[in-house]
């Protein structure tokens, strides 16, 4: 209760604490839906050629037909399984080697030059070698995806450890932490924001590498479906595969971002204005 200018009492009414429902997330749909609707309209009016670039209605019809036959689910499951396995192996190896080279100067001088050279080899260049080494079955495909995931995680984590505040390291030395304890209890938590970004970048590369992986004699998977559409001259199948890739990639990235956000609640970062 506060006293007004003329001595009368007035009660200050606090603003509502109930957050208004926001449709801000829907803004991300404006561009793709606008482009799709515009192309659909141009083809319907006869102003665009829908033969090589089919309109969204034809792509949707293709997806519905593949879903009804059960083929779409089979291809999605095969691709998703390869990405998940490759991502897990890439994360484990990238985290281990990145932590080692970030913490140990000797390991960094010994391993980093070779890894930096290997990092610049195009993904497609690994395909014939992995076929010779591991055959054309699942092992070679998962390893190729793991290679793509490995490098962004290794590079980001190794560099982030070198940028950790020296005072935090000194605290660990005061408490006589071992090397493993120093990495696990101080260095990795301090690099968590950079590590999360690296995970998302690695996941994105995993989805890119799976296409090259499914060139290696795959009989199912979205990459196989994409190539099959190219070989049979069916651009609607190619675009349908690309649309599913985009949806799955965005969904998995969103799930990873939401999950990792729970571990970054302590971070007092910049909040951009609306």
Q: Round to whole Å and give the CA distance between 237 and 17.
A: 49
Cβ atoms 236, 58 nearer than 8 A: yes
What pLDDT band is residue 25 in, cutting at 50, 70 and 90? Answer: low
Total tally of structural domains belonging to the chain: 1
N-to-C CA span, the chain: 34
Check pLDDT > 50 for residue 232: yes
Give me the half-sphere count of Cα atoms (radius 13 Å) on the Cβ side of residue 34. Answer: 6
Handedness of CA 220, 223, 224, 228 (dihedral sign): positive
Residues in the chain: 274
Residue 65 in any domain: the answer is: no
Q: Given a cut of 50, is residue 84 above it in pLDDT? A: yes
Is 262 domain-assigned?
A: no
Specify if 173 maps to a domain. yes
Residue 249: burial class (beta carbons within 10 Å; 0-12, 13-18, 19+)? middle
Split at pLDDT 50, 70, 90, the class of 270 is: low
The confidence score (pLDDT) of residue 24 equals 62
Q: Which residue would you say has higher pLDDT here, 122 or 12?
A: 122
- For 88, the domain range is 77-218
CATH of residue 179 = 1.10.3720.10
Does 41 map to a domain? no
- The 10s digit of each residue's pLDDT in 112-166 is 999 999 998 887 888 888 888 888 888 889 999 999 999 999 999 888 888 888 8
Q: At what angle do helices 192-213 and 235-261 cross, to 10 degrees?
A: 160
Q: How confident is the model at residue 174 (pLDDT cuts 50, 70, 90)?
A: confident
The answer to whether residue 159 sits within a structural domain is yes
Asked whether residue 238 is domain-assigned, the answer is no
Claim: this prediction has a pTM higher than 0.85:
no
Q: Is residue 58 part of a domain?
A: no
- Domain membership of residue 260 (yes or no) is no
Q: Mean pLDDT, to the nearest integer, of 80-91?
A: 95
Tell me the three state secondary structure of residue 273. coil
């Amino acid at each position: 209760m506060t006293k007004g200018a003329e001595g009368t009492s007035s009660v200050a009414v606090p603003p509502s604490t109930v957050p208004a429902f926001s449709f801000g997330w829907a803004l991300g749909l404006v561009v793709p839906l606008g482009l799709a609707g515009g192309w659909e309209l141009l083809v319907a009016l006869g102003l665009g050629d829908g033969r090589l670039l089919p309109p969204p209605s034809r792509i949707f019809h293709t997806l519905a037909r593949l879903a009804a036959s059960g083929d779409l689910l089979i291809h999605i499951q095969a691709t998703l399984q390869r990405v998940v396995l490759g991502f897990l192996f890439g994360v484990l190896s990238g985290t281990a080697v990145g932590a080692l080279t970030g913490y140990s100067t000797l390991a960094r001088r010994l391993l980093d030059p070779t890894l930096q050279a290997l990092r610049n080899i195009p993904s497609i260049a690994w395909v014939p070698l992995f076929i010779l080494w591991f055959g054309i079955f699942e092992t070679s495909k998962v390893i190729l995806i793991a290679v793509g995931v490995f490098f962004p995680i290794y590079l980001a984590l190794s560099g982030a450890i070198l940028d950790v505040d020296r005072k935090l390291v000194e605290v660990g030395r005061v408490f006589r932490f071992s090397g493993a304890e120093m990495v696990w209890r101080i260095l990795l938590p301090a690099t968590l924001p950079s590590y999360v970004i690296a995970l998302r970048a690695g996941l994105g590369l995993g989805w890119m590498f799976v296409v090259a992986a499914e060139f290696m004699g795959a009989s199912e998977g979205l990459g196989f479906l994409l190539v099959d559409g190219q070989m049979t001259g069916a651009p609607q199948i190619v675009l349908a595969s690309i649309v599913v890739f985009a949806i799955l990639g965005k969904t998995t990235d969103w799930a990873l971002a939401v999950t990792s956000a729970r571990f970054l609640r302590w971070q007092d970062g910049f909040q951009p204005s609306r």
